[in-house]
Structures are given as C-alpha cells and as structure tokens.
Amino acid sequence: MLTFTGIPTRGCLFKLCARTDTRTLSRPPILEDIYSCIVRHLIAFPIALKQHLKRSRDPDEYGKVLEYSELDGICRTGRPHTLLLSSLSMLIRPLRHRDDGLGKSLALWNQMDSCISQLQSISCNLDLIVQQPLPASYTIHADRFIRLWVGTLPFVLLDVMRPALVVPAVLLVAWALYYTEELAEIMEEPFGDETSGKPETIKLDVFCRRIIFALKQQVWAQETLDSRVNSGDWVITPEDLPP
C-alpha cells in the first residue's frame, strides 16, 4: 500500500519526468510533441491508478490533462493505468533508435524504461492487494478464537476479581477482540469500493493531488530554466523556481 502513497511511485514518476526533461539538450522539432504527450501521460497515470484501485471511473478527472483522442482510448479500456504505461513505453522507443553511436540516447532510454518497469511492478503489487481478499480461514479462525476466549474468560476472572467486576471486564475485552474482525474487513478493502459503498481507509485522492502537483511543479521549473538558458540568461532568480 505504501508503494502508491509513499516514495516509490512518486520517485519513479519524478525520475521519469526528469529524464524526459533532458530532451532539451538536443532534439529535433518532432520530439516536442512526443515530450508533451509523455508529460500528459505521466500526470494522468496517478489518476488512472487511483481510479483503478477505488474501482471507479470518472473521465472528467482527465479533462484538463489528456487530449480528446487520448481520453477516448482511456474510456474504452478496462485498465487505463496499464494503457498509459504501454503508451509511455512506445513514446520513449525512438530514443533507442536514434542513438548516434555514443550511447547517450541509449542510456537515457534505458533509464526511462527502467522507471516504467518499476511503475508496472508497483501497479501489479497494488492489483494483488485489491483483487486477492484475505483467506477465508483468517476470518473463521478469528471468530472461533474470540468466541472461545470470551466464553471462558468469566471463569478465569472469578478467581482474580470480585464478581461484580467480571461482567464489565468481559464486555470490555469482548469489544476489543470483536474489533479485530472489523480490522479484517478494513484490511480486505484498504482502498474502498465505490460500487459497493465501502469507505476507503487510505485517502488516495489526497496523495494523488500531491503527486500531480509535484509533477507539474517539476515540469514548470524545468521548462522555465530551459527558456532562461536558451535565451542566454544564465542567472537563475528565485522567480524561476517553483513556490
């Protein structure tokens, strides 16, 4: 679960975004369209992964990120995040074919392809969490253990406390133990399920917004610095950096 909310997913996206920004070193004009498409798909990926984990579909979330033709493909597939990763893999492929023999383009492609592979691995791990419920034996054994424990607990407590305190003590312990059954249900659906109305325990929307905001900041900062360098102004001011 931490793979989406923590450093690994965000780190892979940032690395891939940073490698993409190196296209300004030397690129033909046609690569500008490819770069823009890569950035759009990088920003759309957290949205697609979040919706997949929550079992929800909301094309409006992609409205300000993807173009209409790309959005149409997202709406027609059952796994948008996988489609985006496949698209990213195809978009960076020209780097491998236009290597000039020095190995720079090939090394760049290898680094970006590695980041995409890591994102694919993270997506697969999260799929396992969503699709594979807890073993049925876990719930059965937990229920049997609780009933046995609570049923025999009063006989044990009669030897260590006054009879008037046994009932409150048993009720308190029973409440604490039965709460473990609710924990099992929470563990079974950590991301929630909008189709069945189950609430989420991990606020994916919050983490998704943070990742997208940080990605946009990185892209904005890199493009601002590139424009300053291309104009011959090598002095970096605080205004050139993201807030």
The 10s digit of each residue's pLDDT in 231-241 is 776 666 666 56
CA pair distance 153, 169, nearest whole angstrom:
9
DSSP letters, 169-228, are: HHHHHHHHHHHHHHHHHHHH-TT-BTTTTBPPSS-HHHHHHHHHHHHHHHHHHHHHHHHH
What is the three-class DSSP state of 79?
coil
CA distances from 3 to 18, 132, 179, 194, 199 (A): 20, 17, 27, 21, 20
Read off the pTM. Answer: 0.69
Q: What's the one-letter identity of residue 165?
A: L
pLDDT at residue 196, as a whole number: 62
pLDDT top residue among 243 and 90:
90
- Residue ranges per structural domain of the chain: 2-132+203-240, 136-188
Average pLDDT over residues 83-99: 84
pLDDT top residue among 199 and 74:
74
Alpha-carbon torsion (54, 59, 60, 66), positive or negative: positive
Average pLDDT over residues 175-200: 68
Average pLDDT over residues 88-112: 80
Enter the tokens of residue 165.
């305190």
CA pair distance 41, 73, nearest whole angstrom:
12
